[in-house]
């Protein structure tokens, strides 16, 4: 599996998958829906799947002396690796905003989502939905990806809209807390996002394995 992951990283991956990890820096942008950084990271992963299709990578991988399901496993490992790299960047920048920049006027006066553990939990939820909708959808045919990606775009921006709107609802202001205010609630949201990411990715992976086994390459 280590060799297969190296093959994904060096041969199948688009350079954009790596460059778009840098969109984690959007976490620092004031007056902007910072969850959009998650979308751009998934867009980078999409580019690798597009490369794989155009290069007939799925068939090439299936011809290697490995189990057919290892092809699916390799794609998921690569995708999750990119997602977690982007998430780590967002987490470090969120910690910066929660500590050194917690009292910065430019963030305090921002009407949009603040960078905090709730934001990170929502980021994990969006990553999990991407894995479920796009990657799972791709492996239904191992070729078509336009419809799954368009569906992902719609769901992603609906979730971003909901996340941005929640703290404007009376009684839910705590989800947009600054610094370490309401930290118990914030950490609960982060844990819930991590659980959702894990479950959605696992369900997607198992479904992709079943679908890919049925495909006659």
Average pLDDT of adjacent 10-residue blocks, the chain of 217 residues: 78 93 96 96 96 84 80 94 98 96 90 95 98 96 92 98 95 93 96 98 96 80
Supply the pLDDT for residue 130: 98
Inter-residue contact 148 to 138 (CB < 8 Å): yes
Q: How many domains does the chain have?
A: 1
- pTM, to two decimals: 0.95
Q: What is the pLDDT of residue 36?
A: 97
User: Residue 190: what pLDDT?
Assistant: 98
Q: In the prediction, which pLDDT does 164 show?
A: 96
What sign has the CA pseudo-torsion 179, 185, 191, 195? negative
Backbone angles phi, psi at 141, to 5 degrees: -125, -20
| Burial call 133-157: b when 16+ CB within 10 Å, e when fewer | bbbbbbbbebeebeebbeebbebbe
Domain that holds residue 8: 2-214
């Amino acid at each position: 599996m280590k060799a297969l992951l190296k093959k994904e990283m060096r041969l199948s991956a688009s350079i954009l998958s790596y460059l778009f990890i840098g969109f984690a820096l959007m976490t620092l942008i004031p007056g902007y829906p910072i969850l959009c950084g998650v979308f751009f990271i998934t867009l980078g992963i999409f580019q690798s799947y597009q490369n794989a299709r155009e290069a007939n990578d799925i068939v090439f991988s299936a011809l290697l002396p490995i189990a057919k399901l290892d092809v699916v496993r390799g794609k998921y490992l690569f995708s999750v690796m990119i997602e977690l790299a982007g998430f780590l960047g967002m987490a470090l920048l969120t910690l910066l905003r929660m500590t050194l920049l917690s009292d910065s006027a430019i963030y305090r006066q921002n009407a949009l989502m603040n960078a905090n553990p709730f934001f990170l939990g929502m980021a994990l939820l969006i990553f999990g939905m991407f894995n479920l909708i796009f990657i799972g959808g791709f492996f239904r045919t191992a070729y078509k990806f336009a419809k799954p990606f368009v569906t992902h775009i719609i769901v992603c921006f609906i979730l971003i809209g909901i996340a941005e709107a929640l703290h404007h609802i009376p009684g839910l202001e705590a989800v947009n807390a600054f610094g370490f205010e309401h930290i118990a609630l914030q950490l609960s949201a982060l844990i819930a996002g991590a659980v959702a990411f894990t479950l959605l990715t696992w369900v997607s992976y198992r479904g992709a394995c079943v679908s890919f086994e049925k495909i006659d390459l």
